[in-house]
């Protein structure tokens, strides 16, 4: 008997697929584009975005966010850095965007972890210093996201990271490759790197 998949990859509506394409074309960091896509798909509660002088102008970024029906709240962040033009908290709900704006990420790791949709086991491990040591991490091939893994539940946590990565691979494959993900195994007709 075949095991039911734990996570469903077929979750994007036709409209979301179009919005993902718009997000992927923004000149902002590749990592934040992937985070925005996960928020848009509803698998992450919220994220933060900082627009710098080398990114698309804030007005363009705000337009794409609004067009994608992502709720954003402008926040004050690092006023001394002249490269920062705007910073935002972003969610599908105003409540979560507001809550992330109010949380001190350096102090309240629990609240930030929950808003970033990290598993409770990983949040607890981070807060209680029971994280898996980096040298004990499993093979992370094909995984483009990361949070601190717990010693006792890292297998389930890696499954979530794989799922998030697979969503980006499915809906924004060029972004997946840009973030260091590779299609595994390589297609038979594709040359291996360096060959």
Residue 178: Cβ-neighbour burial (10 angstroms; 0-12, 13-18, 19+): middle
Residue among 35, 38, 60 at smallest CA distance from 49: 35
Q: In angstroms, rounded to a whole number, what is the distance separating the alpha carbons of residues 47 and 174?
A: 21
| Confidence grade of residue 182 (pLDDT, cut at 50, 70, 90) | low
Whole-structure pTM over 0.85, yes or no?
yes
| Confidence grade of residue 37 (pLDDT, cut at 50, 70, 90) | very high
Q: Please determine, for residue 76, whether its predicted confidence score (pLDDT) is greater than 90.
A: no
Q: For residue range 90-122, what is the model confidence (pLDDT) as tens digits?
A: 999 999 999 999 998 888 999 999 999 999 999
Residue among 179, 170, 169 at smallest CA distance from 31: 179
Question: Please, what is the average pLDDT of the chain?
Answer: 89
Q: In angstroms, rounded to a whole number, what is the distance separating the alpha carbons of residues 21 and 64?
A: 10
Query: What are the residues whose beta carbons fall under 8 Å from the beta carbon of 23, sequence distance 6 or more?
Result: 33, 36, 37, 40, 64, 68, 172
| Confidence grade of residue 2 (pLDDT, cut at 50, 70, 90) | low
Q: In angstroms, rounded to a whole number, what is the distance separating the alpha carbons of residues 21 and 24?
A: 5
Q: Please determine, for residue 175, whether its predicted confidence score (pLDDT) is greater than 70.
A: yes
Q: Please determine, for residue 4, whether its predicted confidence score (pLDDT) is greater than 90.
A: no
The pLDDT value recorded for residue 184 is 41
Q: Please determine, for residue 25, whether its predicted confidence score (pLDDT) is greater than 70.
A: yes
Q: What is the domain partition of the chain in residue ranges? A: 14-178
Q: In angstroms, rounded to a whole number, what is the distance separating the alpha carbons of residues 124 and 93?
A: 25
């Amino acid at each position: 008997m075949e095991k039911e998949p734990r996570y469903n990859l077929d979750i994007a509506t036709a409209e979301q697929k179009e919005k993902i394409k718009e997000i992927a074309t923004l000149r902002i960091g590749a990592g934040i584009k992937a985070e925005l896509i996960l928020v848009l798909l509803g698998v992450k509660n919220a994220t933060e975005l900082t627009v710098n002088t080398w990114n698309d102008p804030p007005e363009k970024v705000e337009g794409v966010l609004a067009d994608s029906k992502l709720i954003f709240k402008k926040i004050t962040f690092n006023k001394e850095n002249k490269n920062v033009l705007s910073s935002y908290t972003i969610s599908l709900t105003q409540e979560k965007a507001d809550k992330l704006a109010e949380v001190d990420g350096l102090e309240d790791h629990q609240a930030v972890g929950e808003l970033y949709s990290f598993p409770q086991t990983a949040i607890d491990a981070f807060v209680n210093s029971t994280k898996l040591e980096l040298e004990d991490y499993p093979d992370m091939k094909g995984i483009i996201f990361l949070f601190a893994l717990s010693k006792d539940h890292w297998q389930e946590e890696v499954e979530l990271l794989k799922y998030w990565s697979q969503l980006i691979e499915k809906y924004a494959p060029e972004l997946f490759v840009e973030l260091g993900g590779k299609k595994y195994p390589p297609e038979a007709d594709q040359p291996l790197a360096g060959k």
